[in-house]
Chain A
Amino acid sequence: MSDLTTSERLIIEPTFTTPEIRFDPAAGRFFIGGNSYPENSLKFYGPVLQWLQAWASKHTPTSETLTVEVRLEYFNTSTAKVLLDLFRLFESLYERGQPIQIRWIYVAEDTEMEDAGIDYQAAVKVPFELVPVDE
């Protein structure tokens, strides 16, 4: 399968250093998963943020909850910062009345990932669930 960018969907296949991205608003699901340590996170995530901004600007809030799932393995600090920008975009959508649930998925015993999730939970005003799973 290859990358796909349309106004309706954004699909980016994973590489060793960049994550899988599946933004499918029609299905109410936004997913980021895998490794994320590109050399330049802005270069990788810039188009993702732009796509999301463009979609959000045209989106009329509905009663259906949009689910944002993040399940990362290794990620670098510049990704950590971009993720916050991404969550803030969802936060602005939430403030406009769109129900949103962010799910931060991590391996249960990985307290480092749990702590990262707690930081994001504190930094954005949008329902943010920490979801421990088995390895």
Chain B
Amino acid sequence: MTVSYEHRLLFRHEGPLDMEVLPVLVHAAERALQNEGVRPPLRRRIISSLIELAQNIIRYSAVNEKYPPLLLLSRTDQGFVLIVRNLVHYSQELFLHSYLQNLVSMPRQELEKLHYSTLTEGSYSDSGGAGLGLVQVLFKSDAFEYELTPVEGEYSWFTVKASFSL
């Protein structure tokens, strides 16, 4: 996964993330996108993806002060790139990898069907999630990449890069 330094950074947060911080980040990202002249449909796709990825971190991320979550939004010639990175324990890696491999291999129509059937027939997780967060990000973005890279001991970075075309 590459992030070009030619991208113009609109928004960056590296630090603890909780439900008090999230609305501030949403507001900041929204302001940045408004300043870029981004209209509602695209703005909604980006902000909704930011919310889902951030709430996945709040619900499921491993916590280590040395390795805080990172969220950044940048502008490219083609549109916008949202990168979200957090720490995961190795016990989560296999699940994430097989879950996402399955999702990214799905044709868009199938993803749409999965989204709809999970919405209408799925159940809630113990943490109140609907199991739709990453499906939603894949569904709303124009390109989606992820990687798991070792950090230290039993932990890895889980990084998601979602691109949105103008």
Interface residues, chain A, with chain B CB atoms under 8 Å away: 16-17, 35, 37-43, 74-78, 80-81, 84, 107, 109-113, 119, 123, 135
Contacts and interface: CB of A to CB of B under 8 A. Distances in A.
B150 interface: no
20 contacts: A38-B128, A39-B19, A40-B127, A42-B124, A75-B48, A76-B48, A77-B52, A77-B133, A78-B128, A78-B130, A80-B119, A81-B119, A81-B122, A84-B119, A107-B40, A110-B41, A111-B41, A112-B40, A112-B45, A123-B119
A80 B59 contact: no
A39 B55 contact: yes
Contacts of B132: 77-78, 80-81
Interface of B: 19, 22-23, 26, 39-41, 44-45, 47-48, 51-52, 55, 58-59, 116, 119-120, 122, 124, 127-130, 132-133, 135-136, 140
Contacts of A123: 119-120
A39 B40 contact: no
A91 B130 CA distance: 21
Contacts of B26: 37, 74
B39 to A, nearest CB: 6
Given A39-B19, A39-B58, A110-B41, A74 B120 contact: no
Given A39-B58, A110-B44, A119 B51 contact: no
A43 B136 CA distance: 22
B130 A135 contact: no
A83 B51 CA distance: 18
A78 B19 CA distance: 15
A109 B39 contact: yes
A17 B132 CA distance: 18
Contacts of A77: 52, 119, 129-130, 132-133, 135-136
B55 A37 contact: yes
Nearest to B48: A74
Nearest to B125: A78
Given A84-B119, A123-B120, A16 B130 contact: no
Contact of A76 (B51, B116, B120, B140): B51
A133 to B, nearest CB: 12
A119 B115 CA distance: 10
B40 to A, nearest CB: 4
Contact of A37 (B41, B45, B51, B127): B51
